[in-house]
Structure 1
Amino acid sequence: MHGPTVVSWLVAALAMGAAGLCLLRLRGAGCAGPERRHPDRESDTAEAVMALGMAGMVALPGPLWGWLFAALAGALLLALVGLLGPGPRAHRLHHGVGALAMAYMALAMPGGSGGPHGSGGHYAAAAVPGLPLVTGALLLYFGAYSLWAGSRLLSTPAGPLPAAGGDGLGRACRVAMGIGMFAMLLTM
């Protein structure tokens, strides 16, 4: 990631925290038994994979992440059109856009020169015409998504920390991921 090292580590920590929340929800959903399947299990799995990949991409940048996220985006978009079974179309679309954005960021940065271990490498976005428009569109999308998801989180009933299957925990994970994506795009 381009920018101060502390920002890179904060984004990596945010992504790991979001992955932990998603895995906690998955664990809670798995305890419910097969007869009471958690409706957001696919979404939580995609968010956990994306969050772990985001943390890995920040800590160890390189083009391999781009190809892995491109494959994930392809699978999510195939699932979106119904080729991989029924499921939540809006979540699949959002996760597909997120995976494409991660592939775009991983492939736009030079391999291994950035991140918290590097010298703060620079993205190649300015050298290729049209890429600043893609970055701007993704910034708008994830900025608006973070605000929308955050407003939904604020509307969750107040009380103690939500249970592992609680809706507030899933919303918190989505807000954290949206903010992390926004921060990574902002540094391009």
Structure 2
Amino acid sequence: MHGPASPGWLLVALCAASGAYCLLRMRSGVEEQRRAAGSEAVMGFAMAVMAVPAAVFSPPAWAWPVYAAVFGAAALRSLWWARIDAHHLHHSIGAAAMVYMSVVMTLSPGSHHHGHGGSGVPLLTGALLAYFAGYVLLSGARLVPAGGAGAATVRAGAGGGAGWGDRPELARACRLSMGMAMVAMLLTL
């Protein structure tokens, strides 16, 4: 992605940390959680690679079509699993956004304005930004404890036996951070 180096490195760190935590979540005893964590780990690491500042590493021209093909396959896989769990629909939209960003980078590598014709934000970019901004707001709201600080303490104590891979609040925080990273990446598009 094109943009300043410092925020780019912060985005790389955020996405890589999210991907690493999702790998830990794959150790869960719940199959559906492992499947979702695997998709999220791939997304986190791929976003980290895509966010490396162009001044440091500029991928070869063939990398963007490969990205598009890999994430096109991931989008179709997530659509298949969405019939069982609706959360996979979000994974499919995320993978489709990665395909879109890869196609844009393929068409105009190295430029800040990617030839969408006219001025302003292209319609698809705007729609993806609106979706992920809404997702970030909803995910952030889900992290706020419903019953205040006392309820949060009780829930934390009750879930103390859960392993790192089975902590729903950490999974939500991971999804929130990847949603924010997706917004940041779409803004630099």
TM-score range, shorter chain: 0.7 to 0.9
Q: Is the 8 A contact 2:108 2:114 kept in 1?
A: no
**Aligned twin of 1:5:** 5
Following superposition, the deviation at residue 93 of structure 1 comes to 0.5
Name the % identity.
40
How many pairs were matched up?
169
**Aligned twin of 2:143:** 153
**Aligned twin of 1:104:** 100
Structure with bigger gyration radius: 2
Q: Is the 8 A contact 1:12 1:54 kept in 2?
A: yes
Q: Is the 8 A contact 1:23 1:45 kept in 2?
A: yes
Q: Deviations over 1:84-136 (max 9, x none)?
A: xxx31x2111000000001101110147955xxxxxx4252534899711000
Q: How does 1:83-94 map to 2 (within 5 A)?
A: 87-88=84-85, 90-94=86-90
**Aligned twin of 2:149:** none
Q: CA RMSD in A?
A: 2.7
Question: Does residue 1:79 correspond to 2:81, yes or no?
Answer: yes
- Structure 1 runs of 4+ off > 6 angstroms? 128-131
Q: Is the 8 A contact 1:25 1:169 kept in 2?
A: no
Q: What TM-score do the two structures reach when normalised by structure 2?
A: 0.78
What is the CA–CA distance in structure 1 between the aligned matches of 2:122 and 2:145, rounded to whole Å?
Answer: 34
What is the CA–CA distance in structure 2 between the aligned matches of 1:46 and 1:131, rounded to whole Å?
Answer: 29
Q: What TM-score do the two structures reach when normalised by structure 1?
A: 0.78
**Aligned twin of 1:21:** 21
Unaligned runs of 5+ in 2: 53-57, 147-151
**Aligned twin of 1:181:** 182
Deviates more, 1:142-151 or 1:63-72: 63-72
* Secondary structure, counterpart of 1:16 in structure 2: helix
